[in-house]
Amino acid sequence: MKSDDLRQKLGKIDYQLIKLLDERLELLLKWQRLQPDQPAPTQSALPDSFHRLVQGILDQDFYHRIYQEIAGESEKLLSKDYRLIAFQGEHGAYSEMAARVWNDSLIPIPCAEFTEIFEGVEKGIYDFAVVPVENNTGGIVNQVNQLILNSNLYVVGAVELGIHHCLLAPRGTDYRELHAVYSHTQALEQCRQFLARNKLQPIPFYDTAGAARMVAEEEPPSAGAIASKLAAELYNLQIIKENIEDFPHNITRFLIFSREANPEKGEKCSITFSTAHKAGTLFRVLEVFARQGINLTRIESVPDLQGHFAFFLDFEGDRDAPKVQQVLEEAQKITTRFRLLGCYKEKRQN
């Protein structure tokens, strides 16, 4: 074994240690929300059952001191009462990037499924949720929009994020040796022309950042990942090429949800509603907005759980503006299952 190989293995272990510590702290933050009346298991000493794992290379007191330090820092973290924002995927996901754009003082917590995000906010485990609702090239995110229809959460913010994909690989990789690329199906589709030009085999993975993490930890032969620049930084991967998406104006819109409505003045509102199965009913709703000169920025139809269609509509204005209040009152009278999702400000990052 060469010294370079040893150095690479040491770096990988150091990376894993840091990531495991971060994951441990995230679990403690979730514990604190789930069991607010019980002290979190920060542990100031090495558990007795772990003594058999100590190989004797270092004195056991050293491991106890490490645990004491971890416990002390954990207690400091828990005492600060940070606010948490949940996102779907692994760290480095585009949803996490959107969360940082919206409010970089929040602690982003990864979740495996969108349902886990909504349930977590409803139960108070997380303060906020950030979810993608539509992409200008890939269309709407059906699962998320259906979850919104059946949720009582409020929209308190939005982010339009420019999606810039990167081809990533373990450090030291010769790009000429790459033959396959892992990523989410949507990311693979958005880079289809790039993959074809470079004769790279696309391999679907559950998440872009998850693909980056897998490539970093498992180093599958001749394989890379398509993910964000943030994922490259978090997983210590080499950026082979940036901005590999086929269309330069690739934008995903994210909504921020909370259990409480946004108390501040907004610039955009979101509503959902259904209409009777009669010709012209949707036109009547849109006509209400047109008469007041209110600009619509989004209208989408989504099937609900009953097999009917519900509509999402976004428009410019603050809910307290007289003409907006009038429009909301009129629209509610000619629709069913009407709900004002929220009034909020939208941030943009290209």
Return the active site residues. 252, 254
Asked if 168 and 226 touch (Cβ cutoff 8 Å), the reply is yes
- Partnered with residue 86 across adjacent β-strands are 109, 129
Amino acid at 7: R
Q: How far, in whole angstroms, is CA 219 from its chain's centroid?
A: 25
Determine how many CB atoms are found less than 10 A away from the CB of residue 275: 21
Q: Which of 59, 250, 260 is nearest to 156 (CA)?
A: 260
109 within 8 A of 85, measured Cβ to Cβ: yes
Rounded CA separation 117/143 (Å): 12
| Residue pointed to by tokens 């679990």 | 27
Locus of tokens 């996901």: 93
Say how far apart CA 252 and CA 94 lie, in whole Å.
9
Give long-range contacts, CB 8 A cutoff, 24+ apart: 199-206: 200/224
Distance CA 194, CA 96 (A): 25
Q: How far apart are CA 161 and CA 132, in angstroms?
A: 10
What is the enclosing helix (H) or strand (E) of 129?
strand 128-135
> Residue 111 and residue 109: Cα distance in Å, rounded?
7
- Of 30, 183, 184, 32, the C-alpha closest to 116 is 30
In terms of Cβ atoms closer than 10 Å to its own Cβ (0-12, 13-18, 19+), residue 285 is: buried
> How many CA atoms are closer than 13 Å to the CA of 75, on its beta-carbon side?
10
